[in-house]
Amino acid sequence: MARSRPRILLIGGSYRTLCLLEHLLERGERVVAFLGQEGGSERDFSSEILEHCSRANIATRSGNKFGEEIVRWIEDCIRPELALAVGVTTELPLAIGGNCRFGLIEVSDCLQADSNPGVVLRLRGQEIAVRRISPEDRADPDEVYLRVIDETVDAVNGYLDGLDYGKPAAASSIRFEASVEAAGAASGLAQLVEVPEPGPQTDALEREGAARLGADHSLALRSTEEAFALLLRTLDLSEGDEVICSPLSGTGLLAGIRRCGARAVFADIDPDRLTLDPDRVRAAISPGTRALVIGHPFGQPAPLDLLYGIAREAGIEVIEDGSAALGADFEGHPLGQSPCTCVFRINQGPALPGEEAVLVTLSGPLWARLETLAPGLRLGGAAAARARQRLACLDETISLRTQHASAYSAELARYDAFRIPPTPEAALPVYAAYPLRLTRFARVSADDLHKLLGDSGIETCRIAVPLSERELAGLPATESLRSQAILLPVGPSLTPHQRSRVLDSIFDFAVG
């Protein structure tokens, strides 16, 4: 991959500024914004420059003074890495250069002051490039003007050519989810063959899971499908009975519902929180409704107080789908705490393909009913050992994911082009994924951004919804999320440098 060019803020208003802008664009530089100086001593070419910027989709501002409002606009919306001020006579705030990675380059010339040797580039008051024009060459005003333009372009070219971007010519790919060590893959698969049956490791995982989640008991099973099918069977569902769930539910839940002969009824999500919308759940309840499955998508806890209240009023059972939310809290209590029943998936990683590890939290009475049904479905000893390792480092994993998500949100929230995940007061998410939604102010669609990032070596995911277009037509919030969102990498192996690369690439493609 070619080195990424710096984001350039161009400042000025003269014809020389216009010529430099045209040259930078021809050169393929990333001019992201233009700040026009009005009221200078020369003829003002700001209107012509603004027209060029409009055609090139470059953000613009202009004025005769550069105050705090302009500085905030630059800091919050533009985020330039290099500022070029051409023939600017107004005093520029120090914050403009201070917020640029490569600083503010001031370009002055002999047209502004006869004492100037020609064209001079200054960085923090120090001369970094000089193109001399002798007094004899200044005799003809027209010729000297053209000479100044040529020397300005040449000096800026020389500076940009010598600029150290600090990035390698080829960047390694950024995976959406960290892969498990290759050394552990072979041994893990071998153990699965050698220890396929439940044993002491399975028992230990169930004890540790229950203690961690504040549950009376926990049951370690082989798959989410088996877990949901087992739980739903305890409800004595009849053919055609309805189970309300989120359209963002995984295939394991939907397969478990079908195995019981029941029918999934989808209630739309809250457009802000992305969990089940309580009003839509209430509207979806019918005489045939037997259960409500509350999902916690992307590790974001649902409003359990409201949803459990609706279920109690309707007299229906509740199961929680915490497949992506192991370790999350709601109102200071861990998801899965008794008397709640919750299905959690422990990520085994790609080293153990096709092998799931599932923990189901159970209250005492439900445990007694399931104990006789579960023996043939319990997790094997080798997979349980692997799951215990993952459970032991869960706090560290959540901490790293939260750091990445917080850093994403802090930067992305500055732009109208993006909609970041919410942070409800009563909920503590674990960020199993980071859903970034693009608004109408973004320059690209979510699908295009997904492809562009992929071409740049950054792996993201689109949100898969297991519904037909016809079914989605009645779920506008879900359809909007599916069409407008991508999932960003937040895996624990993501480095701060890689995270910055993800953000820079998003800003390049979606903002300009």
Tell me if residue 421 falls in helix, strand or coil.
coil
- Is residue 173 included in any domain, yes or no? no
Last-in-domain residue among 337, 371, 393:
393
Give the tokens for residue 446.
């979510």
Give the tokens for residue 312.
């109690």
Tell me if residue 21 falls in helix, strand or coil.
helix
pLDDT tens digits, residue range 314-332?
Answer: 999 999 999 999 999 999 9
Asked if 252 and 350 sit in the same domain, the reply is yes
Give the tokens for residue 170.
């080829």
Q: Which CATH number belongs to the domain containing residue 32 in this structure?
A: 3.40.50.170
- Is residue 332 included in any domain, yes or no? yes
Asked if 405 and 269 sit in the same domain, the reply is no
- Residue whose token pair is 């909609």: 419
Give the closest residue to 335 by CA, choosing from 370, 295, 367, 373: 295
Per-residue model confidence (pLDDT) at position 273 = 94
Structural domain boundaries enclosing 434:
395-510
Last-in-domain residue among 367, 393, 419:
393
Position 155, amino acid:
A
Share of the chain above pLDDT 90, in %: 45
Per-residue model confidence (pLDDT) at position 169 = 41
Asked if 372 and 407 sit in the same domain, the reply is no
Euclidean distance between CA atoms 473 and 460, whole angstroms: 26
What average pLDDT does the segment 111-139 reach?
84
Euclidean distance between CA atoms 222 and 380, whole angstroms: 8
- Is residue 177 included in any domain, yes or no? no
Q: Which CATH number belongs to the domain containing residue 356 in this structure?
A: 3.40.640.10
Per-residue model confidence (pLDDT) at position 398 = 94
Is the pLDDT reported for residue 118 higher than 90? Answer: no
Confidence of residue 164 (pLDDT cuts 50, 70, 90): low
- The set of residues, in sequence order, having a beta carbon less than 8 Å from that of 123 and lying 6+ positions away, is 103, 104, 105, 106
Euclidean distance between CA atoms 463 and 83, whole angstroms: 38
pLDDT tens digits, residue range 275-289?
Answer: 999 999 999 999 999
Per-residue model confidence (pLDDT) at position 198 = 84
Q: Which of 37-41, 80-84, 233-237 has the lowest mean pLDDT?
A: 37-41
**Alpha-carbon radius of gyration of the chain:** 30
pTM above 0.75, yes or no: no
Q: Are 421 and 429 in contact (CB under 8 A)?
A: yes
What's the burial of 445, exposed, middle or buried (CB within 10 Å: 0-12/13-18/19+)? middle
Top-ranked range on mean pLDDT: pick from 45-49, 145-149, 184-188, 284-288: 284-288
Q: Are 264 and 241 in contact (CB under 8 A)?
A: no
Asked if 220 and 275 sit in the same domain, the reply is yes
Is the pLDDT reported for residue 65 higher than 60? Answer: yes
Euclidean distance between CA atoms 83 and 63, whole angstroms: 17
Confidence of residue 64 (pLDDT cuts 50, 70, 90): low
- Is residue 108 included in any domain, yes or no? yes
Give the closest residue to 277 by CA, choosing from 299, 248, 250: 248
Confidence of residue 13 (pLDDT cuts 50, 70, 90): confident
Last-in-domain residue among 161, 194, 214:
161
Give the closest residue to 276 by CA, choosing from 253, 303, 310: 303
What average pLDDT does the segment 33-39 reach?
76
Asked if 85 and 12 sit in the same domain, the reply is yes
Position 422, amino acid:
P
Per-residue model confidence (pLDDT) at position 187 = 42
- Is residue 178 included in any domain, yes or no? no
| Planar angle of CA 65, 76, 159, nearest 5 degrees | 75
Q: Are 350 and 228 in contact (CB under 8 A)?
A: no
Per-residue model confidence (pLDDT) at position 193 = 45
Give the tokens for residue 205.
């995982």
Asked if 216 and 365 sit in the same domain, the reply is yes
Share of the chain above pLDDT 70, in %: 88
Number of domains composing the chain: 3
Between 295 and 40, the more confident residue is 295
- Is residue 297 included in any domain, yes or no? yes
- Is residue 176 included in any domain, yes or no? no
Per-residue model confidence (pLDDT) at position 255 = 92
Give the tokens for residue 295.
């999902």
Beta strands in 97-245 (DSSP E): 104-109, 118-123, 126-132, 217-221, 242-245
Asked if 385 and 473 sit in the same domain, the reply is no
Asked if 213 and 319 sit in the same domain, the reply is yes
Asked if 40 and 26 sit in the same domain, the reply is yes
What average pLDDT does the segment 472-483 reach?
93
Is the pLDDT reported for residue 151 higher than 70? Answer: yes
Asked if 219 and 150 sit in the same domain, the reply is no
Per-residue model confidence (pLDDT) at position 349 = 61
Q: Which of 139-143, 232-236, 357-361, 433-437 has the lowest mean pLDDT?
A: 139-143
- Is residue 87 included in any domain, yes or no? yes
Per-residue model confidence (pLDDT) at position 95 = 66
Is the pLDDT reported for residue 265 higher than 90? Answer: yes
Q: Which CATH number belongs to the domain containing residue 480 in this structure?
A: 3.90.1150.10
Asked if 364 and 216 sit in the same domain, the reply is yes
Position 447, amino acid:
D
What average pLDDT does the segment 82-95 reach?
78
- Per the prediction, the chain carries an average pLDDT of 85
Give the closest residue to 389 by CA, choosing from 432, 346, 343: 346
3-state helix, strand and coil shares in percent for the chain, rounded to the nearest 5: 40, 20, 40
Tell me if residue 462 falls in helix, strand or coil.
strand
Confidence of residue 512 (pLDDT cuts 50, 70, 90): low
Asked if 347 and 271 sit in the same domain, the reply is yes
pLDDT tens digits, residue range 366-420?
Answer: 887 777 777 778 888 888 998 999 999 999 999 999 999 999 999 999 888 999 9
Terminal C-alpha separation, the chain: 19
Q: Are 13 and 49 in contact (CB under 8 A)?
A: yes
Give the closest residue to 187 by CA, choosing from 386, 39, 20: 386
Position 297, amino acid:
P
What average pLDDT does the segment 130-142 reach?
84
Is the pLDDT reported for residue 301 higher than 60? Answer: yes
Is residue 269 within a helix (H) or strand (E), and if so which, with residue range? Answer: none
Total residues belonging to the chain = 512
